[in-house]
Structure 1
Amino acid sequence: MGKTRLASGLGLGALVAIALLWAGSSTAASNAHPGAEEAAPPAGEPLTINWIERDPHPIEGLLLKVEPEDAEDLGAFFERQGFGMAGVRAGARSVPRVAVTRLPQDLKALRRAEERKLLFLRSVLPLVLLSNEEIRTWRGRLLALQEAVQAGAEPAPEDRAWLAEMAERYGSDPQDLDALLRRVDEVPVSLALGQTILESGWGTSRLAIEGNALFGETTPSTAVPHLVQRVEGGKRFRAFPSLLESVRAYMHNLNSHPAYRRFREQRAAQRALGVMPSGKLLLPTLERYAELPQYLKLVRSLIRSNGLEELESARLDRDWFASRDASF
């Protein structure tokens, strides 16, 4: 088993290294969406664990970037952290603030299907929660600005600049906060997990292993990192520098592309009723996501058979770092 390493033996505060995982927004093309424009890291690159701090994107607290040497190494890391899915499902345990940057090359070689599935869920669930946390923070600021405007206050210059940036990112009007709020919202955990399980084959597809692509997103552009199907006339699929970037791009796609307007409207309707958006209720709005026959039926079956709705209430552990020492 490969040994997981930290950057140094310094104290916890000194282990913080500034690193930006978000490469900034870009212009969406066809059914693609903004994402990182840098090449995916090559296979075989030395693997380590690093502390990172998100800036300027608003993930609260610190985030641990995990680069496992192999599947056994990653499983052992999760065990050392006490990250068990049973406790998360029962609501007794929260989820560690970790971001697995890439899936182990030997994930498919695991003989036991349940072991492979568990490792995949442990890897992807924190990424979904982290991405939703970013969106939730942006949404909170939008709601505060909306309340202030409705009370007659004039947005400060920095707020106007931020609104213009968010409107450009999401393809909306900075003057229409209601429209922007319909776009800046979370994606249900069960929906994201069900789709990535189907799209990536529980993380064993070529796209997932070689391109960190968890959601099978295509692009007509050769100007972004991509992989091409190994068949004549094969489609061009987006590739990403990390798994977290893939999750962010997927959520941005649902939140901005015209094809998913009904998804956003239905989610807003659920919000208006005072309920958290439900993956089960929103799934039927994604009939345009894939060409695969029975796609929605397959995703629905995966959500049900794997108990993914039990993870809708999963939460990141705000105090996870404070309760861990530097040795891991």
Structure 2
Amino acid sequence: MHKSKALLGAVLVILIGLLIWFRPQPSLVETIPAVEHADDPVPDFKQYEDVRDKKQAFFEYLKPAVVAQNDYFREVRQFLKELQAKVDGGNGLSSDEQEQLNWLIDEYRVETDQDLDAAFTTLLRRVDIIPVELVLVQSANESAWGTSRFAVEGYNFFGMWCFVEDCGFVPKRRNEGAIHEVAKYDDLSAAMYSYMRNLNRHPAYKELRAIRAELRASNKPITAMKLAEGLVQYSERGEEYIEELQQMIRVNRELI
């Protein structure tokens, strides 16, 4: 009797081990980078009387999400390079690798009529880091240092729009006939992912990606000052907006 129980226990241990071993693991490319307390209420940045303290608190709140997102980009880039090397070596992709590649092609809106080599080139141009300094000063600019209604109530620090009814906040000054809303997110991680993905795939920021690709090709640092030049279409203010961001980068560099 005791031997039967012991045998049954051993079998259960083995089965549990096998279930853990074969349990599907989350896909690298489909996992939004998360940070701790991302769904906590946005801090009250209006409480700070000292401007320097306010800026410091704002940067410290957002920076972990930016870093996590950039780390994700680096991992996915490495994954893409490994797949590219595998294909270049005449080897086929596994079903899981192909599935993840297809997901990236769809997520980053790569034209499906391209051959595989061209798809890899496009993806590596789009799946790439955005300098921390640029993200932080742009979010400060767009959200009035984290005090806007859209930031406080919807984690939207970036002025991001959406185009499905009830996807966000209806702007008070929306033009007649316009359908856009200001996007609302469940947490900071989702908001940061959406914003940085937008810079990496939207046609309006093609110039930003071209500047970054040129810097990579020349083995030069990818800097906030240089990539800011690719955001001329982010605001109706155009070049004036770029100059303002670059001035914010210079003024706040030591705090970031």
Structure-to-structure mapping, 1:142-153, within 5 angstroms: 142-153=80-91
Q: Alignment length, in residue pairs?
A: 222
Q: Distance in 2 between matches of 1:256 and 1:59?
A: 16
SS where residue 222 of structure 2 aligns? Answer: coil
Structure 1-normalised TM-score? 0.62
- Provide, for residues 294-325 of structure 1, a one-character-per-residue CA deviation record: whole Å limited to 9, x for no partner: 211111111110016x85xxxxxxxxxxxxxx
Q: TM-score, normalised by structure 2?
A: 0.78
CA distance in 2, matches of 1:258, 1:126: 27
- Counterpart CA distance in 2 for 1:239 and 1:147 is 39
Distance change in 2, residues 1:101/1:58 (3 Å) = farther
SS in 1 for 2:169: strand
Match of 2:11 in 1: none
Name which of structure 1's ranges 213-222 and 118-127 shifts more when overlaid on structure 2: 213-222
Q: CA deviation at 1:280?
A: 1.0
1:175-199 per-residue CA deviation (whole Å, 9 max, x = no partner) reads 2211111111111111111110100
**Aligned AA for 1:182?**
R
SS in 1 for 2:36: strand
Contact 2:45 2:147 in 1 (8 A): yes
Answer yes or no: is the 8 Å Cα contact 1:102–1:243 preserved in 2. Answer: no
Distance 1:126 1:139, change over 3 A: same
Give 1:296's match in structure 2, choosing from 218, 242, 247. 242
User: How large is the Cα RMSD of the aligned pairs?
Assistant: 2.5
2:170 to 209, 212, 228: 228
Rounded to whole Å, the distance in 1 between the matches of 2:234 and 2:86 is 37
1:103 aligns with 2:42: yes
Q: Secondary structure of the equivalent of 1:237?
A: strand
Asked if 1:247 is matched to 2:187, the reply is no
State how far apart, in whole Å, the 2-side matches of 1:301 and 1:150 are.
44
Q: CA deviation at 1:276?
A: 3.3
Q: How does 1:269-284 map to 2 (within 5 A)?
A: 269-284=214-229
Q: What displacement does 1:227 show?
A: 1.1
Bigger RCO (CA 8 Å, 6+ sep)? 1
Which one of the candidate residues 199, 208, 213 is aligned to 2:142? 199
Shift of 1:100: 6.4
Cα separation, 2, equivalents of 1:180 and 1:64: 25
Cα deviation for residue 244 of structure 1 reads 1.7
Q: Structure 1 residues 138, 184: closer, same or farther in 2, change over 3 A? A: same
Q: Which has the larger displacement, 139-148 or 167-176?
A: 167-176
CA contact (8 A) 1:59 1:130 kept: no
Structure 1 or 2, whichever has the larger Rg, is 2
Query: C-alpha separation between the residues in 2 aligned to 1:119 and 1:240?
Result: 21
Which residue number corresponds to residue 3 of structure 2?
A: none
Which has the larger helix fraction?
2
d(CA) in 2 for partners of 1:59, 1:221: 22
Q: 1:145 to 1:169 in 2, by over 3 A?
A: same
Which amino acid is 1:270 matched to?
L
Q: CA deviation at 1:132?
A: 1.0
The residue number in structure 1 matching 2:201 is 256
Per-residue CA distance 1:87-126 (angstroms, 9 max, x = gap):
xxxxxxxxxxxx464412x321322222211111110010
Write out per-residue CA displacement over residues 263-313 of structure 1, whole angstroms, 9 at most, x where no aligned residue: 1122111111123321111111110011136211111111110016x85xx
Change over 3 Å in CA distance of 1:232–1:252 after alignment to 2: closer
- Taking the aligned partners of 2:85 and 2:101, their CA distance within structure 1 comes to 14
The 5-angstrom pairing of residues 79-158 of structure 1 reads 99=38, 101-104=40-43, 106-158=44-96
CA offsets, 1:124-181, max 9 Å, x none?
Answer: 0101001111121111100111122222222222211111111001001472211111
Separation in 2, partners of 1:163, 1:134? 15
Paired residue secondary structure (1:65): coil
1: CA distance, partners of 2:76 / 2:234: 25
What secondary structure does 2:212 align onto? helix
217, 238, 245: which is aligned to 2:183? 238
